[in-house]
Structure formats: structure tokens, C-alpha cells
Amino acid sequence: MERKVALVTGGTKGIGLACAIELAKAGCDVIINGRSEEAKVQDALNEIKAQGVNAYYYRFDVSDFKAAEENVAKMIEQCGKIDVLVNNAGITQDGLFVRMTPEQWSNVINVNLNSVFNVSHHVTKYMMKARTGSIVNVSSIVGVYGNAGQANYSAAKAGIIGLTKTLSKEFGSRNIRVNAVAPGFIKTQMTAGLDAEKITPFISLKRLGEVTDVAKTVKFLALDADYVTGQVIEIDGGLSI
Ligand code: NAD
């Protein structure tokens, strides 16, 4: 059977790379995107290829609409299609709202939220023609509940949830599903500065999340959940209930 093609933005490390590997395990050829030089992502590409599929790397800034357009066109030329899009790339630039600079605000909105518009805008053109597709957007529990010190990030992640629900309605008739995941505290470079001992008492499962905890849910939404669209799954070990 012809393999599906999955694009994971920010797929060079952390949650994105775990999603890429999980999708590869399920038999997808995988395109990862990031900002690093190609030489620095060889290990990531090899880990994906080790699952017996093809792996490709496209270096571009997801906050750049034109770059997204050019690169998605090249991906289609190379792979013929994109069946699955995981909008995962993200950054934080935290600070209390009263001290937050316009630059901190717009950097985080651009990379976390505008990127989802930029990449999805171009990918859905091809999905619509194919009349099939699945998009999984990586939000955060702070997009649902807010978090002091993360006005920019929580606004971007809340925006992703609104966009997810709207796109699920706009694209449903074209057989394109759009869902989101909202992770809690997951062990990656992004959360390396956190004091786990202070946080874990508030988590029902008494541990931080692993990247694979998120990746398995992303894979489920992307490939298995045929009648699920417009949903947001919180992956936080019970932190928020
Ligand atoms: P990470 O810093 O380990 O990885 C981020 C990835 O995004 C990297 O591959 C990086 O190259 C890429 N990236 C950043 N800016 C980019 C840009 N402008 N263009 C292209 N690629 C870019 O972070 P992570 O913890 O793996 O986070 C992945 C996603 O999960 C993010 O959207 C993050 O907001 C979200 N998230 C993480 C946690 C957590 O606890 N780690 C919790 C909730 C949500």
C-alpha cells in the first residue's frame, strides 16, 4: 500500500521529533522542518529512517508565510502529497504582562500562532484537492487555562484552539480532520529550567510527561481517529482537573 506522507513542523527535537518517529513507526514517510542547518539534523533523520520509511528535512522559518509557501510546494514536488500535518513548532519568551515588550509579544505570536496559519494555508490547498487529510495542532494547557507570566504564549495557544475548531468546520466537508493536543509539563529543552519536584505534587500521575506521551496521542488523532474532528485533548497527567 502507498505510504502516507506526514509533515511535522519543529520536528528536529523534543515533542516534534517524537511525533515524527511515532508517525514513521505507523508507516508514514516523514518530512521534518526546523531552523537548524541540515548537518545538525542527521541524527533525527536517521532515527526516523530507522523505522523503515523515508525522511526529509526542510529548513525554513514557519513564521514566514512566503517561505512556507515555497517549501510546501517543493515538498509536494518531492513527495507528491501531504496527508498529515502536525503544526508543532513553538517557542516561549516569558515575562509578566506589565513588563512584556511588543517584540516578546509578536515573536511568540508569530512562531506559535501565525505559523499554523502560514503552513496550514498552503498544505490544505493540496489536501482539499486530494479530498483527504488530517491536521494536528500542538496547543498547550495554558491556552485553555492561562498562566501568569505567559500572556503571549497562552494567547497564541488559545488562538490555536479557536483556529482548530474553525478549520474543522470549514474543511469537514472535504474529509479533512483538524484536532489539537494541549500538553501539560513535558520533559523537553523548553521545560528544562522547571523545578519538577515543585510541580509533580499537583499532577495526578505524579510525574512530568514524556515526549512519547504526546506523540502517541498525536499519532492517534492523525491516523486512527477517523470520526474525531475539532477536538482538543489535554495531555497533562491530570494536572488541570
Ligand atoms: P523544543 O524547544 O524542544 O522544540 C521546538 C521545535 O520547534 C524545534 O524543533 C525548533 O527548531 C522548532 N522551531 C522553533 N521556532 C521555529 C521556527 N520559527 N521555524 C521552524 N521551527 C521552529 O520544544 P518542545 O517542548 O518540543 O515543544 C514543541 C511544541 O509543544 C511547541 O509548540 C510547544 O509550545 C508545545 N508544548 C510544549 C510543552 C512542554 O512542556 N514541553 C507543553 C505544552 C506545549
What is residue 102's predicted lDDT score, i.e. its pLDDT?
Answer: 98
Given pLDDT bands bounded at 50, 70 and 90, which one contains residue 55? very high
DSSP, collapsed to helix, strand or coil, labels residue 95 as strand
CA of 198 to the centre of ligand 1 (A): 23
In contact, 81 and 2? CB cutoff 8 Å: no
pLDDT (tens digit, 9 = 90+) per residue, 213-235? 999 999 999 999 999 999 999 99
Q: What is the per-residue pLDDT for 223?
A: 98
Q: Which residue, judged by its Cα, is nearest atom 41 of ligand 1?
A: 186
Q: Select from 85, 84, 33 the least CA-distant residue to 61.
A: 33
Three-state SS string across 135-183, please?
Answer: EEEECCHHHHHCCCCEHHHHHHHHHHHHHHHHHHHHHHHHCEEEEEEEE
Q: Which atom of ligand 1 is nearest to the CA of 13?
A: 9
Residue 76: the pLDDT is 98
Pocket test for ligand 1, best of 33, 45, 87, 91 (most atoms within 8 A of CB): 91
Catalytic (active site) residue 227: no
SS3 213: helix
Task: Identify the CA nearest to 22 among candidates 8, 37, 43, 3.
Answer: 8
Res. 20: pLDDT tops 80: yes
CA–CA distance, 134 with 111 (Å, rounded to integer)? 21
d(CA 62, CA 114): 8
pTM higher than 0.95 for the full model?
Answer: yes
Mean pLDDT score, 60-82: 98
Q: Would you tell me how many other CB atoms lie within 10 Å of the CB of residue 1? A: 4
Predicted local distance difference test score (pLDDT) of residue 135: 99
pLDDT for the residue numbered 1: 75
**Is the pLDDT at 128 greater than 90, yes or no?**
yes
Catalytic residue, chosen from 126, 145, 153, 227, is: 153
* Average confidence score pLDDT of the chain: 98
CA of 173 to the centre of ligand 1 (A): 31
User: Hey, what's the cell of 31?
Assistant: 518530512
